[in-house]
C-alpha cells in the first residue's frame, strides 16, 4: 500500500545555483500527483530530492524535510539506500541493464536485498512483470532476451517492473513516456491507473493532457518555486494563479 | 591519446571578379590553367603513392621480422623439431637446447604479475572514476601514468638494489614462516627470484591495465549508475552492478593487453629473475624467461646452433605475444567498433 | 515484505571502498620509492664531471657517462630519421587514403608491430644490419629504435588527422588546391601540434629502451661519432654498470638512471606544453 509524502520547506542547490525554493507539499497516498511546468523549472530536481538521488550529483545540497509516511527521508539515522528502495524511480530514458536478461533485470534489486531462492525470485519477477503489463510479452523469453533488446516501450515497462520488484511505497516517474511513441505512452498511462491503487505516484510531465488524464492532483512549478498545487480539475479549468493560467493556455513554456 | 580542439575554419577567399563577368562588359578571357591541373594530378598521384609506400613499409617490416626470425632459427628448428618446446635441458656446451624452462618462466612470471596487478589496477581505476574527489582525479591518473614512463632498465636497477634486499630481509622470511605450508615459498632466499620478477612486472603493467580499465569504466553511461542507485543499492553495489559489470569486456581486454606487455618485458626481468634455467614450484627459486635468455646469452653465443636456438626462442616469444595481442585487440575492437571516426562539420 | 540485510551490505560497501583506496595507496608506493631512490642515490653523483667525462678504466673510481648521453642522442637521431617519416607517412595514408580492407590490414599490422617485444626487434635489427655489415654499429641500433617508433607515431598521426574536420579539407578542395598540397599545408598543419606531441612521446618511449641496443650497438667505453661503429648508449650503460661487481659503477648507474629519467620527463613536459598550446593554436 502506498504512503503519503510530506514536503516541508524543501530547498535544493547545484553548487551555488538555487534550483528549488521552499517547496511545501502534501502528496496524497494512493493517488497520482502530476508535476508540470516549463523546462528548467526544477520539477525533476524536486522529484529527485524525494528519493535522495539529487545528492549523488557532486556539489549538490538539500535543506528542509521530506517525510515518507512516518520516516524522515533526510533524518539523521535514515539510510539513502533504504529510502531509494522504498521510493522507486522510473527515468525519462529507459535504462535497463544491457548485460542482463529480462529476468535478471527485474530481479536485480531483489538480489541486492538478499533474495536467493529461485522460487521467491520467480514469484516476485512474475508479479512485477504482470503489474507492469509486460508479462505476457516476455514470459517465454525471460532469461533469453537481454534487457536492451526490447522495444522502447517494453524497456520502460521493464524499468517499471524492476522498480516495483523491490516493493516500494512511492513511485516517482520523471517524464516516463516522453521518449516513447503514442501507443506505448498510452500503455504507460493505463499502467499508472492500475498502479495508483497500490502505490503513491508522482509523475513529472511536460504534457498537460497527460497530467489531466492520469493524475488527481497537479502541482505547477516555475523557476524552482511551487506556484500552485490543487486538484487537477481545478488547475486546468480554473487556475488560481495567473502564471498557472498563462502556462496552461500556452502563453509561455 | 591527446584530444585537440578543432581550429577555426579556413575562410574561403573572396571570388575574383574575372570568374563571374557581368553581362554588360565585354568579358576578358578567363585564363584556364590546364597545365597546372595536369601537374597537380601527377603530384597528387606521386604523393599518394609515397604515402602508400610508407604504409606498405609497415607491412614490409613485419614481413621482414617474420622472415628473419624463421630463417635464422632454421638450423635449430630442423635440429630439434617440436621437441624443442618440451625439452627441459639448456646446455650450450653439449649443444642440447630446450625451451621449456623459459616458457615456464615467462608464463609463470607473467601470471604472477597479473595476479598482483589486476586487483590493484581495478581498485585504482574504481577509486579514480567513482570514489575520489574530482580535483584529485587528474592528479592521480597523472601519477599512475608516470609509472609508465619509467624505462625498464631503471625498474631493474631499483629492483636489484632496493626490492631484492627488501625481499631477502623481510618479505621472504615472512612468507616462508607463515605461508611455507603452501609449498610456494621454499628453498634458498636469494632474493633474485620468480617472485622478484613477478613483482616488478606487476608494477610495470599496472599503468596500462589501470588506464584502459578507467577508460571503459568512464564510458559506462551515467544512466546505468542511476538505475542501480534508484532501486536501493549501496555505492559499492552500484559500482559492481552498474559499472564493472557493464565494462567487463573492456576490462578483460585491458588484462590481456597487460599480459601481452608482461610476456615481452625483458630487461627488468633479466635483472631480477636469477637467470637459471630451471622449473621450480617455489617462487623463491630463480628462473629464466624467453626474453631473458636471449638478452643474456645472445652476444656470447658461439657456433651456429647456439645463436639459432636463441633466435628460435625469439620466434616463440614473437608468436606468443602476437597471439595474446591479437586476442586483446579483438576484445578492445569489439567495444570500440574498429577505427576512429572521422570528424564531421 | 522485503527485509534487507542492510548492515551487512553497508559493511561490504565500506570494505570495498577501503580496498579501493588501499589499492591506490599501494600503487603509489613504488612510484614514490623509485623516484625517491633515484634522487637519493643519484643526485650526489650528478656533477659536471659525470656529464662531461667518459668512463674510466675498469675498477678505477670516477669518470662519467658523457659518451653514453651523446651516443643515445645520436642513435635517437638516426632512429627518428627512419621512424618519423615512415610513421607520419603511414598515418597520413591511413587517415586520408586508407579505406576498407587494406586500411584495416595496415592498421592491424601497425598494432602488431607495436606489440612485438623489443628484444625481438633487436634480434631482427641484428640480423638485418649487423650481420650484413659484419660489425656492430649505432646505425643498427637506430634502425631497431626507428622500427619501434613507427607504429606509435602512425597511430597518433592518424588519430590527429581524423580529428581535423572534413569541412577544412573541402574548403581547400573547393578552392582548387590539389590533394597533396591540401594534406601537407592544411590538414597536416592543423594536426601538427598533436603530431609533434606523438613524435616526442615516441622519443620518450624509445629513449629508455635497452634490449634492442644490446646486440646492435653493443656499447662503448669511449667516445665514438662514427655511426658505423659501436656506440655507447645511456640505458645500455646503466644496465652494464648495474650488473657489474663494482660499487663505483653502481653509484654511476644510479646517476645515469637519474639523468635518463630527467631527460624523459623533460620531453614529456614539453609534450604537455605543446599539447596545451595546440588547443588554443588551432588552424594555421
Residue B310 lies inside a defined structural domain of this protein: no
**Domain count of chain B?**
1
Cβ of residue B232 closer than 8 Å to a chain A Cβ: yes
What is the structure's pLDDT at B124? Answer: 96
* Least confident stretch, B8-12, B233-237, C33-37: B8-12
Cβ of residue C259 closer than 8 Å to a chain B Cβ: no
B120 or C57, higher pLDDT:
B120
What is the structure's pLDDT at A113? Answer: 84
Residues in chain C: 284
pLDDT-based confidence at B27, cuts 50/70/90?
A: low
What is the structure's pLDDT at B64? Answer: 92
Give all chains having 3 or more CB-to-CB distances under 8 Å with chain C.
Answer: A, B
Average pLDDT, integer, range A150-168: 93
Point out which residues pair with B257 in neighbouring strands: none
| Beta pairing, strands A217-222 & A200-204 | unpaired
CA B216 to chain centre: 17
The answer to whether C182 and C190 are in contact (CB under 8 A) is: no
Can you read off the three cell numbers belonging to residue A168?
516500494
Contacts of A99 in chain B (CB under 8 A): 245-246, 248
Chain B nearest-CA residue for A49: B230
Inspect the interface and report whether the beta carbons of B246 and A97 lie closer than 8 Å: yes
Q: Tally Cβ neighbours within 10 Å of residue B225.
A: 21
* Least confident stretch, B30-44, B114-128, C128-142, C260-274: B30-44
The answer to whether B251 and B264 are in contact (CB under 8 A) is: no
Chain C nearest-CA residue for B45: C180
What is the structure's pLDDT at B343? Answer: 34
What is the structure's pLDDT at A162? Answer: 94
Can you read off the three cell numbers belonging to residue A227?
506556484
With a cut of 80, say whether residue B341 has pLDDT above it.
no
C32 or B94, higher pLDDT:
C32
Contacts of A112 in chain C (CB under 8 A): 4, 9
| Beta pairing, strands A170-174 & A87-90 | parallel
* Spatial distance between the Cα atoms of A182 and B124, rounded to a whole number of angstroms: 46
Q: Tally Cβ neighbours within 10 Å of residue A209.
A: 10
Contacts of C3 in chain A (CB under 8 A): 113-114
Handedness of CA B59, B65, B70, B71 (dihedral sign): positive
pLDDT digits (tens, 9 = 90+) for A42-58: 899 999 999 999 988 88
Inspect the interface and report whether the beta carbons of C9 and A81 lie closer than 8 Å: yes
Rank A240-244, B88-92, B200-204, C101-105 by mean pLDDT and report only the highest: B200-204
The answer to whether C68 and C256 are in contact (CB under 8 A) is: yes
Domain ranges of chain C: 6-45, 50-281
B161 or B190, higher pLDDT:
B161
The domain of B183 spans 102-295+325-336
* Spatial distance between the Cα atoms of B57 and C85, rounded to a whole number of angstroms: 11
Distances (CA, A) of A74 to A46, A79, A122: 14, 8, 34
Question: Any long-range contacts for C55-61 (C-beta under 8 Å, 24+ apart)?
Answer: C55/C221, C55/C237, C55/C252, C58/C246, C59/C246, C60/C248, C61/C248
Chain A residues whose C-beta sits inside 8 Å of any chain C C-beta: 79, 81-82, 85, 110, 112-115, 166-167
Residue B159 lies inside a defined structural domain of this protein: yes
How does the average pLDDT of chain C come out, rounded?
Answer: 86
A236 or C184, higher pLDDT:
A236
| Beta pairing, strands A32-36 & A217-222 | parallel
* Spatial distance between the Cα atoms of A15 and A162, rounded to a whole number of angstroms: 32
Q: Quick one: angle between helices B194-218 and B100-126, nearest 10?
A: 40
With a cut of 60, say whether residue B10 has pLDDT above it.
no
* Least confident stretch, B192-201, B326-335, C27-36, C81-90: B326-335
Q: Tally Cβ neighbours within 10 Å of residue B173.
A: 13
Share of chain C above pLDDT 90, in %: 40
With a cut of 50, say whether residue B13 has pLDDT above it.
no
Domains of chain A: 5-95+170-248 (3.40.50.300)
Question: Which DSSP category does B243 fall into?
Answer: I
How does the average pLDDT of chain B come out, rounded?
Answer: 84
* Spatial distance between the Cα atoms of C213 and A158, rounded to a whole number of angstroms: 61
The answer to whether B214 and B126 are in contact (CB under 8 A) is: no
* Least confident stretch, A178-187, A204-213, B41-50, B146-155: B41-50
With a cut of 60, say whether residue B12 has pLDDT above it.
no
What is the structure's pLDDT at A59? Answer: 87
Q: How far is C1 from chain A (nearest CA, A)?
A: 7
A217 or B45, higher pLDDT:
A217
Interface mutation vs chain C, best among A69, A71, A81, most C CBs within 10 Å: A81
Within chain C, which residues score under 50 in pLDDT? 1, 279-284
Contacts of C5 in chain A (CB under 8 A): 113-114
Distances (CA, A) of B238 to A87, B223, B231, C39: 17, 11, 10, 42
Distances (CA, A) of B333 to B205, B254, B329, C111: 20, 12, 6, 12
Cβ of residue B230 closer than 8 Å to a chain A Cβ: yes
Residue B95 lies inside a defined structural domain of this protein: no
Average pLDDT, integer, range B319-340: 75
The count of CB pairs under 8 A between chains A and B is 66
With a cut of 50, say whether residue A9 has pLDDT above it.
yes
Residue B69 lies inside a defined structural domain of this protein: no
Cβ of residue B223 closer than 8 Å to a chain A Cβ: yes
Inspect the interface and report whether the beta carbons of B263 and C38 lie closer than 8 Å: no
Angle at alpha carbon of residue C86, lines to C84 and C90, rounded to 5°: 115
The answer to whether A153 and A137 are in contact (CB under 8 A) is: no
What is the structure's pLDDT at B31? Answer: 56
Contacts of A95 in chain B (CB under 8 A): 221, 223-224, 226-227
Inspect the interface and report whether the beta carbons of C4 and A85 lie closer than 8 Å: yes
- Of B247, B244, B163, nearest to B202 by C-alpha is B163
What is the structure's pLDDT at B20? Answer: 47
CATH of domain C50-281: 1.10.3720.10
Cβ of residue B231 closer than 8 Å to a chain A Cβ: yes
Residue B193 lies inside a defined structural domain of this protein: yes
The answer to whether C133 and C146 are in contact (CB under 8 A) is: no
Q: Which of A79, A81, A166 sits opposite C2 (nearest CB)?
A: A166
DSSP characters over A16-33:
TEEEEEEEEEEEPTTSEE
Cβ of residue A95 closer than 8 Å to a chain B Cβ: yes
With a cut of 50, say whether residue B215 has pLDDT above it.
yes
Cβ of residue C65 closer than 8 Å to a chain B Cβ: no
Q: How far is A117 from chain C (nearest CA, A)?
A: 14
Query: What is the largest distance, in Å, between two alpha-carbon atoms of chain B?
Result: 105
With a cut of 70, say whether residue A143 has pLDDT above it.
yes
pLDDT-based confidence at B6, cuts 50/70/90?
A: very low
Contacts of A71 in chain B (CB under 8 A): none
With a cut of 50, say whether residue B17 has pLDDT above it.
no
Average pLDDT, integer, range A30-44: 92
Inspect the interface and report whether the beta carbons of A167 and C3 lie closer than 8 Å: no
Domain with residue B256: its CATH number is 1.10.3720.10
* Spatial distance between the Cα atoms of A74 and A67, rounded to a whole number of angstroms: 8
Residue B22 lies inside a defined structural domain of this protein: no
* Spatial distance between the Cα atoms of A191 and C82, rounded to a whole number of angstroms: 69
The count of CB pairs under 8 A between chains A and C is 24
Cα torsion through C127, C129, C135, C137, rounded to 10: -120
Amino acid at each position: 500500500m502506498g504512503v503519503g509524502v510530506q514536503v516541508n520547506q524543501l530547498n535544493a542547490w547545484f553548487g551555488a545555483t538555487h534550483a528549488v525554493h521552499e517547496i511545501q507539499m502534501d502528496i496524497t497516498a494512493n493517488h497520482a500527483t502530476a508535476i508540470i511546468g516549463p523546462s528548467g523549472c526544477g520539477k525533476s530536481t524536486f522529484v529527485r530530492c524525494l528519493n535522495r538521488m539529487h545528492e549523488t550529483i557532486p556539489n549538490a545540497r538539500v535543506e528542509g524535510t521530506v517525510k515518507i509516511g512516518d520516516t524522515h527521508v533526510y533524518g539523521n539515522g535514515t539510510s539513502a539506500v533504504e529510502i531509494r528502495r522504498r521510493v522507486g524511480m522510473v527515468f525519462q530514458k529507459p535504462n535497463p541493464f544491457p548485460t542482463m536478461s529480462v529476468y535478471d533485470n527485474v530481479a536485480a534489486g531483489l538480489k541486492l536485498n538478499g533474495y536467493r531462492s529461485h522460487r521467491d525470485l520467480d514469484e516476485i519477477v512474475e508479479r512485477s512483470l504482470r503489474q507492469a503489463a509486460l508479462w505476457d510479452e516476455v514470459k517465454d523469453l525471460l532469461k533469453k532476451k537481454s534487457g536492451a533488446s526490447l522495444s522502447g516501450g517494453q524497456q520502460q515497462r521493464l524499468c517499471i517492473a524492476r522498480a516495483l520488484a523491490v516493493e516500494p511505497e512511492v513511485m516517482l516517474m520523471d517524464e516516463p513516456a516522453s521518449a516513447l511513441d503514442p501507443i506505448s505512452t498510452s500503455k504507460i498511462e493505463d499502467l499508472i491507473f492500475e498502479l495508483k491503487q497500490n502505490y503513491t505516484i508522482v509523475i513529472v510531465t511536460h504534457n498537460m493532457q497527460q497530467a489531466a488524464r492520469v493524475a488527481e492532483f497537479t502541482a505547477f512549478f516555475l523557476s524552482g518555486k511551487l506556484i500552485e498545487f490543487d486538484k487537477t480539475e481545478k488547475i486546468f479549468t480554473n487556475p488560481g494563479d495567473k502564471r498557472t493560467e498563462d502556462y496552461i493556455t500556452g502563453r509561455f513554456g | 591519446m591527446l584530444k585537440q580542439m578543432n581550429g577555426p575554419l579556413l575562410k574561403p577567399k573572396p571570388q575574383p571578379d574575372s570568374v563571374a563577368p557581368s553581362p554588360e562588359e565585354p568579358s576578358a578571357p578567363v585564363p584556364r590553367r590546364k597545365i597546372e591541373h595536369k601537374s597537380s594530378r601527377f603530384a597528387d598521384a606521386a604523393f599518394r603513392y609515397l604515402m602508400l609506400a610508407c604504409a606498405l613499409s609497415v607491412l614490409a617490416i613485419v614481413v621482414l621480422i617474420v622472415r628473419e626470425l624463421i630463417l635464422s632459427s632454421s638450423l635449430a628448428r630442423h635440429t630439434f623439431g617440436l621437441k624443442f618446446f618440451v625439452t627441459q635441458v639448456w646446455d650450450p656446451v653439449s649443444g642440447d637446447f630446450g625451451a621449456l624452462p623459459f616458457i615456464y618462466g615467462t608464463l609463470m612470471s607473467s601470471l604472477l604479475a597479473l595476479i598482483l596487478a589486476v586487483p590493484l589496477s581495478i581498485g585504482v581505476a574504481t577509486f579514480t572514476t567513482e570514489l575520489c574527489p574530482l580535483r584529485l582525479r587528474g592528479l592521480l591518473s597523472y601519477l599512475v601514468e608516470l609509472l609508465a614512463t619509467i624505462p625498464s632498465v631503471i625498474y631493474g636497477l631499483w629492483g636489484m638494489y632496493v626490492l631484492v634486499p627488501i625481499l631477502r630481509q623481510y618479505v621472504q622470511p615472512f612468507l616462508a614462516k607463515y605461508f611455507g605450508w603452501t609449498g610456494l615459498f621454499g628453498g634458498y632466499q636469494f632474493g633474485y627470484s620468480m617472485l622478484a620478477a613477478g613483482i616488478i612486472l606487476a608494477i610495470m603493467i599496472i599503468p596500462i591495465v589501470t588506464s584502459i580499465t578507467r577508460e571503459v569504466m568512464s564510458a559506462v553511461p551515467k544512466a546505468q549508475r542511476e538505475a542501480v542507485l534508484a532501486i536501493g543499492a549501496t555505492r559499492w553495489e552500484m559500482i559492481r552492478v552498474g559499472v564493472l559489470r557493464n565494462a567487463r569486456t573492456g576490462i578483460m581486454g585491458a588484462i590481456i593487453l597487460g599480459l601481452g606487455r608482461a610476456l615481452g618485458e625483458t630487461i627488468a626481468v633479466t635483472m631480477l629473475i636469477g637467470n637459471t634455467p630451471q622449473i621450480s614450484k617455489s617462487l623463491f627459486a630463480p628462473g629464466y624467461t624467453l626474453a631473458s635468455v636471449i638478452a643474456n646469452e645472445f652476444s656470447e653465443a658461439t657456433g651456429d646452433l647456439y645463436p639459432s636456438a636463441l633466435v628460435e626462442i625469439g620466434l616463440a616469444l614473437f608468436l606468443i605475444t602476437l597471439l595474446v595481442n591479437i586476442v586483446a585487440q579483438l576484445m578492445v575492437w569489439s567495444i570500440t567498433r574498429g577505427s576512429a571516426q572521422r570528424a564531421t562539420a | 515484505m522485503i527485509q534487507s540485510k542492510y548492515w551487512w551490505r553497508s559493511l561490504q560497501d565500506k570494505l570495498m571502498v577501503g580496498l579501493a583506496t588501499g589499492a591506490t595507496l599501494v600503487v603509489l608506493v613504488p612510484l614514490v620509492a623509485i623516484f625517491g631512490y633515484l634522487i637519493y642515490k643519484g643526485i650526489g653523483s650528478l656533477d659536471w664531471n659525470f656529464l662531461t667525462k667518459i668512463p674510466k678504466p675498469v675498477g678505477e673510481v670516477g669518470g662519467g657517462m658523457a659518451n653514453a648521453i651523446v651516443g643515445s642522442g645520436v642513435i635517437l637521431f638516426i632512429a627518428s630519421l627512419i621512424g618519423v617519416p615512415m610513421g607520419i607517412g603511414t598515418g597520413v595514408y591511413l587517415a586520408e587514403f586508407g579505406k576498407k580492407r587494406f586500411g584495416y590490414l595496415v592498421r592491424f599490422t601497425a598494432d602488431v608491430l607495436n606489440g612485438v617485444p623489443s628484444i625481438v626487434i633487436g634480434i631482427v635489427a641484428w640480423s638485418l644490419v649487423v650481420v650484413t655489415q659484419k660489425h656492430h654499429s649505432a646505425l643498427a641500433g637506430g634502425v631497431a629504435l626507428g622500427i619501434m617508433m613507427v607504429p606509435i607515431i602512425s597511430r597518433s598521426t592518424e588519430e590527429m588527422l581524423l580529428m581535423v574536420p572534413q569541412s577544412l579539407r573541402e574548403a581547400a578542395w573547393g578552392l582548387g588546391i590539389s590533394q597533396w598540397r591540401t594534406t601537407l599545408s592544411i590538414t597536416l598543419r592543423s594536426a601538427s601540434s598533436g603530431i609533434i606531441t606523438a613524435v616526442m612521446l615516441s622519443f620518450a618511449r624509445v629513449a629508455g629502451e635497452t634490449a634492442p641496443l644490446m646486440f646492435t650497438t653493443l656499447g662503448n667505453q669511449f667516445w665514438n661519432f662514427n655511426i658505423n661503429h659501436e656506440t655507447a648508449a645511456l640505458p645500455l650503460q646503466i644496465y652494464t654498470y648495474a650488473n657489474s661487481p663494482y660499487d663505483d659503477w653502481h653509484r654511476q648507474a644510479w646517476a645515469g638512471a637519474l639523468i635518463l629519467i630527467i631527460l624523459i620527463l623533460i620531453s614529456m613536459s614539453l609534450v604537455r606544453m605543446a599539447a596545451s598550446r595546440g588547443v588554443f593554436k588551432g588552424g594555421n
